[in-house]
Amino acid sequence: MDYVSPEGLRLDGRRPMEMRQLRAEIGTVAKANGSAVFEMGNTKVIAAVYGPREVQNRSQQINDQALVIMANFSTGDRMRKPKGDRRSTEISLVIRQTMEACILTHLMPRSQIGLCFNSIFTKKKHYTIFKELIDLCALSCLLASSFPISVYSRKRNISILNVSAGTRSACINAATLALADAGIPMRDIVTSCSAGYLNSTPLLDLNYIEDSAGGPDVTVGILPKLDKVTLLQMDAKLPVDIFENVMGLAIEGCKAIANYIREVLLENTKQLEYRRGL
């Protein structure tokens, strides 16, 4: 199958080096200490942060740093998956480790920071429902368990659309924003982006169809200011020189996202200033 036409256009009209459209919103979950929505094309992720606060489960408490816990990641798939299914467990682990690496946990000993994500994919007209879901999501975060979207969608008779690609990148980007919103000290913002290799062309930010092609998919997370890589994952195999190209492309994507996230944070801060009347 041709994923890049001879005219140099991908199936969704992008060129190989172009990213999907980004959109971010800060402070969407009222009950959380910090929250954000991050969209990459059709992939929408809500992240909510609770804490730092007292560790709920005393036995997990660490004396010299904060404990980062995370509710199991729930994807928007309509199908109900058995608890602890491998994909969501893996994604949860990856995200938690990435975020833990950038949070200055030693500043907050004996406390816990709770992260919670939900990723759902709806058309724009379901946006009100989306808001509703966010509140429910907040509840589930409090309970530190994943929110059963399937039950909800059946009750409300809405169709939750199939998963789009790049969920883990979107989650990390959303978490960065949410952590910043919660005012949790970080080394740097973490941004993440993926790149793939199809039809002998490196492609930035794969969409769902490209992701389902089963080709190599490199997900990179970086600390842009420190210029350090905190996350690097790849499915499938790639020769080293091509891998370097693809990874380079993903890093470029991360930097572009970092710029965007900075802009959003700056805008948010200005608004906060304005509201306080400073």
CB 98 within 8 A of CB 33: no
213 lines the binding site for other proteins (CB under 8 A): no
In angstroms, the CA 29 to CA 118 distance is 12
- Binding residue (CB under 8 A) for other proteins from 239, 244, 266, 267: 239
Nearer to other proteins by C-beta: 6 or 277?
6
Residue 256 interacts with other proteins (CB under 8 A): yes or no: no
Q: Where in 190-209 is the site for other proteins (CB under 8 A)?
A: 200, 207-209
Smallest gap from Cβ 37 to other proteins, in A, equals 16
Task: Work out how close the CB of 65 gets to other proteins at its nearest, in angstroms, rounded to a whole number.
Answer: 41
Peptide bond into 52 cis (omega under 30): yes
* CA–CA separation, 3 and 130 (whole Å): 32
Structure tokens at 89: 């467990």
| Stretch of 30-38, 155-163, 179-187, 253-261 contacting other proteins, by CB under 8 A | 155-163
DSSP 195: E
The three state secondary structure string of 133-177 is HHHHHHHHHHCCCCCCHHHHHHHHCCCCCCCCCCHHHHHHHHHHH
Element (H, E) at 48: strand 43-54
7 binds other proteins, rule: CB under 8 A: yes
User: Toward other proteins, which CB reaches closer, 139 or 243?
Assistant: 243
Q: Looking up tokens 């909510």, which residue turns up?
A: 48
Count, residues near other proteins per rule CB under 8 A? 29
Residue 121 binding other proteins, by CB under 8 A: yes
Rule CB under 8 A: is residue 9 a binding residue for other proteins? yes
- Burial code (b: 16+ CB inside 10 Å, e: under 16) for 165-202 equals bbbbbbbbbbbbbbbbbbebebebbbbbbbbbbbeebb
Assess 38 for contact with other proteins (CB under 8 A): no
Q: Which of 80, 87, 106, 123 binds other proteins (CB under 8 A)?
A: 123
Check residue 242 for interaction with other proteins (CB under 8 A): yes
User: In the complex with other proteins, which residue's Cβ is closer, 5 or 56?
Assistant: 5
Q: How many other CB atoms sit within 10 Å of the CB of residue 92?
A: 21
Task: Say whether residue 6 binds other proteins (CB under 8 A).
Answer: yes
For 124, the token pair is: 């724009």
Q: At what angle do helices 167-182 and 86-102 cross, to 10 degrees?
A: 40
Applying CB under 8 A, does 253 fall inside the site for other proteins?
A: no
Query: Considering the complex, what minimum distance in angstroms separates the CB of residue 237 from other proteins?
Result: 5
**Separation of alpha carbons 127 and 121, rounded Å:** 10
Q: Restricting to residues 13-32, which ones interact with other proteins according to CB under 8 A?
A: 13-14, 18, 20-21
Binding status of residue 114 toward other proteins by CB under 8 A: no
CB of 41 to other proteins, least distance (A): 5
- As a whole number of angstroms, the distance between CA 26 and CA 174 comes to 9
The residues of the shown chain that bind other proteins, judged by CB under 8 A, are 5-7, 9, 11-14, 18, 20-21, 41-42, 121, 123-124, 159, 161-162, 164, 200, 207-209, 237-239, 241-242
